[in-house]
């Protein structure tokens, strides 16, 4: 109880505002931040309360997640922003990690050409060149209205004064303690055995953030912060150099845009597979009018699973970094092609993934990621998904800097046909090359209806990201759920290979599962995990804002009131 009171006091001290209450009438909500941690959401709302826009709030919330959500929040990872300005302009920023200059296609293979287990997952060689700080700084240059230095201050304060460990966080830290020690030694910061209710004060990270506050992007990519990073990467077997850091730059990209009934959906383009796969799956589902079936009924699940199967097969062949490979995006989203893909679907019997190869296209020439959604009082909206890939990334901790380094190199296909940590199979399009970006599944998404902002959403979950975003969209627009119910309701997942349908444990009836098995679907009931942690904001036709924070995590929606 004492801890809860302390926590309340702490958060209220942090906000400096009276605007925030979780129980006021939704019709007075003017803005909102929904993220994996209450502290990060509150910090973003506090920025908006003093006049900042959604982009300012993004920068402050993102850096706060680095402090209080160290398994995925990061300054040494990467991510994607999809935005819609109040004026209706849409865009996206790719601040995905890149392969170091010294990377090469076979770097995770032994002499016989077999993948060396864990080499792309744990330790220095697993680390991609981080993009987060460059991304945030770029966003600030284009859209920021509050000085950069001011936006970094709340994260510095949080690191210095501490954040409260939750029950889920204690479990997560306990589960990885041995890995932290194996890589970083017994004295490493996060092997202290923090318990629920403890305050974590990370002075090393406060100092790093102070440097970034003062020097912007170059505070991370050059000088003492960069020196410590390069030294730590190389001491743990990695190949990142100063040249890698200095040459990193984020890229503004056109978002993937597709229509689903009367919705206009904007989502992330390659190097994320998220947008193209979300578009393919929803366009394959559209002709079946899935809303005519009951939510999570056998028929609805069949249509969705079969569309997922076909799209993930295409993902494996065609998708990679668009700066390195040609991606037939228009053909992959073409309605004739997608209808043809679903020709072999029948309600009578499951298609077998062995019978589904990636489609033939005529060429014209991480579980541990985090997502947050923000809408500001002016009507700007941002959807941001950011990641270290695995939980606490490569487990390599920069002691002097107070942060973990990513293991994003595992998102490349180390060897075509061999699955990565999410079981995803990649092809040559996603092979490793110097300075190439690894394929992602992150799917930050913004929906317009009748030309107006309608929804902002996304989720972590590795390969399950795309299917979780898609189910949340269908829950609202086909199954008429309010946004919180749409986020909370049980989910399932299929990704072509392995050819199994995964259901969240104990939430689907045995009768339904038996019926699917009778149709030939392989259902792994003992395979139990939560699927995604969606954080979403809905804006009704009369501009009423409502929020959905996923109860599967410690996620929290904080509102800004008039």
Q: Per CB under 6 A, which region of 11-19, 55-63, 197-205, 439-447 contacts ligand GLY?
A: 439-447
Burial status of residue 115 (CB atoms within 10 A of its CB: 0-12, 13-18, 19 or more): middle
Q: Per CB under 6 A, which region of 229-237, 325-333, 373-381, 436-444 contacts ligand GLY?
A: 436-444
Chain centroid offset of residue 206 CA: 25
DSSP H/E element including 55: helix 54-68
Least separation in angstroms between CB 419 and ligand GLY: 14
Q: Helices 148-161 and 132-143 meet at what angle, rounded to 10?
A: 140
Q: Does residue 303 touch ligand GLY according to CB under 6 A?
A: no
Choosing from 132, 351, 369, 385, which is the catalytic residue?
369
Q: Per CB under 6 A, which region of 48-56, 219-227, 257-265, 438-446 contacts ligand GLY?
A: 438-446
Contact 287, 339 (CB under 8 A): yes
Cα dist. 282→63, 473, 487, 513, 524 in Å?
33, 9, 18, 23, 25
Residues 524-543 that bind ligand GLY (CB under 6 A): none
Q: Is 259 helix (H, G, I), strand (E, B) or coil?
A: strand
Query: What whole-number distance in Å separates Cα of residue 314 and Cα of residue 325?
Result: 15
DSSP state of 355: G
**Torsion sign, CA atoms 433, 274, 277, 392:** positive
Q: Does residue 387 touch ligand GLY according to CB under 6 A?
A: yes
Query: What whole-number distance in Å separates Cα of residue 289 and Cα of residue 20?
Result: 40
Q: Does residue 316 touch ligand GLY according to CB under 6 A?
A: no
Query: What whole-number distance in Å separates Cα of residue 88 and Cα of residue 453?
Result: 8
In the bound state with ligand GLY, the residue whose beta carbon lies nearer, of 454 and 464, is: 464
In the bound state with ligand GLY, the residue whose beta carbon lies nearer, of 216 and 462, is: 462
Q: Quick one: how many helices (H) and strands (E) in the chain?
A: 17, 19
Residue 285: CB atoms within 10 A of its CB come to 22
Query: What whole-number distance in Å separates Cα of residue 377 and Cα of residue 179?
Result: 44
- Counted residue by residue, the chain has a size of 562
In the bound state with ligand GLY, the residue whose beta carbon lies nearer, of 152 and 441, is: 441
With CA atoms as reference, report the closest residue to 228 among 358, 374, 360, 400: 400
Least separation in angstroms between CB 50 and ligand GLY: 33
Least separation in angstroms between CB 407 and ligand GLY: 9
Query: What whole-number distance in Å separates Cα of residue 54 and Cα of residue 381?
Result: 6
Q: Does residue 441 touch ligand GLY according to CB under 6 A?
A: yes
Site string for ligand GLY, 191-210 (x = CB under 6 A): --------------------
Contact 329, 256 (CB under 8 A): yes
Q: Does residue 455 touch ligand GLY according to CB under 6 A?
A: no
Q: Does residue 442 touch ligand GLY according to CB under 6 A?
A: yes
Binder among 66, 380, 389, 471 for ligand GLY (CB under 6 A): 389
- What is the number of the residue whose Cβ is closest to ligand GLY? 366
- The residues, ordered by sequence, that sit 6+ positions from 343 with a Cβ below 8 Å of its Cβ are none
Least separation in angstroms between CB 399 and ligand GLY: 24
Binder among 369, 370, 464, 495 for ligand GLY (CB under 6 A): 369
Q: Per CB under 6 A, which region of 7-15, 157-165, 437-445, 488-496 contacts ligand GLY?
A: 437-445
Least separation in angstroms between CB 390 and ligand GLY: 8
Q: Per CB under 6 A, which region of 204-212, 322-330, 440-448, 552-560 contacts ligand GLY?
A: 440-448
In the bound state with ligand GLY, the residue whose beta carbon lies nearer, of 406 and 547, is: 406
In the bound state with ligand GLY, the residue whose beta carbon lies nearer, of 316 and 369, is: 369
Binder among 218, 366, 471, 546 for ligand GLY (CB under 6 A): 366
Least separation in angstroms between CB 440 and ligand GLY: 3
Q: Does residue 212 touch ligand GLY according to CB under 6 A?
A: no
Q: Does residue 311 touch ligand GLY according to CB under 6 A?
A: no
DSSP state of 489: S
Residue with tokens 């020097």: 215
Q: Does residue 411 touch ligand GLY according to CB under 6 A?
A: yes
Contact 534, 481 (CB under 8 A): no
In the bound state with ligand GLY, the residue whose beta carbon lies nearer, of 166 and 385, is: 385
Least separation in angstroms between CB 96 and ligand GLY: 8
Query: What whole-number distance in Å separates Cα of residue 359 and Cα of residue 357?
Result: 6
Q: Is 98 helix (H, G, I), strand (E, B) or coil?
A: strand
Least separation in angstroms between CB 441 and ligand GLY: 4
Query: What whole-number distance in Å separates Cα of residue 107 and Cα of residue 516?
Result: 42
In the bound state with ligand GLY, the residue whose beta carbon lies nearer, of 95 and 148, is: 95
Query: What whole-number distance in Å separates Cα of residue 445 and Cα of residue 477?
Result: 15
- The site for ligand GLY, by CB under 6 A, has a size of 9
Least separation in angstroms between CB 108 and ligand GLY: 16
In the bound state with ligand GLY, the residue whose beta carbon lies nearer, of 154 and 270, is: 270
Q: Does residue 440 touch ligand GLY according to CB under 6 A?
A: yes
| Catalytic (active site) residue 369 | yes
Least separation in angstroms between CB 248 and ligand GLY: 17
Query: What whole-number distance in Å separates Cα of residue 447 and Cα of residue 260?
Result: 10
With CA atoms as reference, report the closest residue to 519 among 292, 302, 281, 296: 302
Residues that bind ligand GLY (CB under 6 A): 366, 369, 387, 389, 411, 440-442, 462
Q: State the catalytic residues.
A: 369
């Amino acid at each position: 109880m004492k801890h809860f009171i302390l926590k309340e006091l702490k958060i209220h001290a942090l906000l400096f505002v009276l605007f925030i209450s979780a129980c006021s009438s939704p019709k007075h909500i003017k803005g909102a931040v929904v993220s994996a941690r209450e502290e990060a959401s509150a910090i973003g709302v506090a920025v908006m309360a003093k006049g900042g826009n959604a982009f300012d709030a993004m920068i402050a919330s993102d850096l706060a997640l680095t402090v209080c959500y160290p398994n995925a929040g990061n300054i040494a990872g990467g991510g994607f922003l999809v935005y819609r300005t109040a004026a209706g302009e849409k865009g996206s920023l790719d601040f995905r990690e890149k392969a170091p200059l010294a990377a090469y296609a076979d770097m995770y293979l032994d002499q016989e050409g077999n993948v060396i287990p864990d080499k792309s997952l744990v330790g220095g060689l697993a680390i991609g060149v981080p993009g987060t700080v460059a991304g945030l700084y770029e966003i600030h240059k284009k859209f920021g209205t509050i000085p950069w230095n001011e936006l970094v201050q709340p994260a510095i304060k949080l690191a210095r004064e501490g954040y409260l460990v939750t029950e889920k966080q204690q479990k997560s830290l306990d589960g990885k303690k041995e890995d932290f020690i194996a890589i970083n030694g017994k004295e490493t910061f996060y092997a202290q055995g923090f318990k629920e209710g403890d305050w974590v004060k990370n002075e090393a990270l406060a100092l790093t953030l102070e440097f970034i506050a003062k020097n912007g992007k170059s505070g991370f990519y050059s000088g003492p912060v960069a020196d410590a990073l390069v030294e730590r990467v190389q001491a743990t077997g990695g190949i990142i150099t100063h040249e890698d850091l200095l040459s990193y730059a984020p890229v503004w990209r056109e978002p993937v845009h597709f229509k689903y009934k009367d919705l206009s959906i904007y989502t992330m383009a390659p190097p994320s597979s998220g947008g193209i796969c979300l578009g393919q799956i929803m366009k394959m589902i559209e002709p079946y009018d899935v809303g005519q079936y009951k939510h999570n009924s056998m028929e609805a699940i069949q249509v969705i699973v079969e569309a997922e199967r076909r799209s993930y097969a295409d993902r494996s062949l065609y998708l990679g970094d668009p700066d390195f490979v040609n991606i037939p995006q228009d053909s992959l989203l073409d309605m004739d092609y997608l209808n043809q893909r679903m020709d072999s679907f029948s309600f009578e019997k499951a298609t077998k993934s062995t019978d589904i190869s990636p489609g033939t296209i005529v060429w014209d020439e991480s579980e541990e990621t985090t997502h947050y959604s923000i809408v500001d009082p002016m009507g700007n909206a941002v959807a941001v998904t950011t990641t270290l890939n695995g939980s606490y990334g490569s487990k390599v901790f920069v002691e002097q800097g107070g942060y973990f380094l990513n293991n994003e190199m595992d998102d490349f296909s180390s060897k075509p046909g061999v699955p990565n940590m999410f079981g995803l199979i990649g092809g040559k399009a996603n092979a490793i090359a110097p300075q190439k970006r690894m394929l992602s599944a992150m799917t930050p998404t913004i929906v317009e209806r009748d030309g107006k902002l309608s929804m902002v959403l996304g989720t972590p979950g590795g390969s399950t990201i795309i299917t979780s975003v898609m189910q949340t969209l269908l829950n609202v627009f086909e199954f008429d759920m309010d946004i919180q119910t749409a986020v909370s309701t049980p989910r399932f997942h299929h990704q072509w290979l392995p050819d199994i349908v995964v259901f969240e444990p104990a939430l689907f009836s045995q009768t339904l599962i038996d019926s699917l098995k009778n149709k030939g679907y392989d259902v792994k009931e003992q395979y139990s995990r939560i699927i995604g942690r969606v954080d979403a904001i809905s804006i009704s036709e009369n501009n009423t804002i409502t929020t959905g924070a996923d109860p599967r995590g410690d996620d929290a929606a904080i509102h800004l009131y008039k």
